[in-house]
Amino acid sequence: MNGLIIHENPKIGKSRLRFDCYRDGITLADYEKAVRERLGADEARKCKPDLKWDSARHFIRIERNGKNLSISR
């Protein structure tokens, strides 16, 4: 995906806390684990919808590396 990738956190509320769990090059599994550890299982279930929302708005970039997805912000 091309376009501007945001480094500042543009979100509010709990979605802001989940966004803070993104790290450059983090895999989907590691993102979900970070959210689960920091915010709990209920918030971890929102990870995949977050990816769609955030990538559609060019807040993050998702790349496929073999079997893993790599996320950059």
Asked whether residue 1 carries a pLDDT value surpassing 60, the answer given is no
Structural domain contains residue 41: yes
Structural domain contains residue 3: no
Query: What are the pLDDT digits (tens) for 43-73?
Result: 999 999 999 999 898 888 888 876 667 778 7
**Once rounded to an integer, what is the mean pLDDT over residues 27-31?**
91
The 8 Å CB, 24+ separation contacts for 10-14 are 10/59, 14/39, 14/43
CA dist 27 and 14 (Å) reads 20
Structural domain contains residue 58: yes
CA dist 67 and 46 (Å) reads 21
Note whether 60 and 72 are within 8 A (CB): yes
CA dist 18 and 46 (Å) reads 9
Average pLDDT, the chain: 86
The model's pTM is 0.81
Is the sign of the CA dihedral 18, 21, 27, 30 positive or negative?
Answer: negative
Q: What is the pLDDT of residue 67?
A: 66
Structural domain contains residue 59: yes
Q: Could you list the residue range(s) of the whole structural domain that residue 24 is in?
A: 13-72
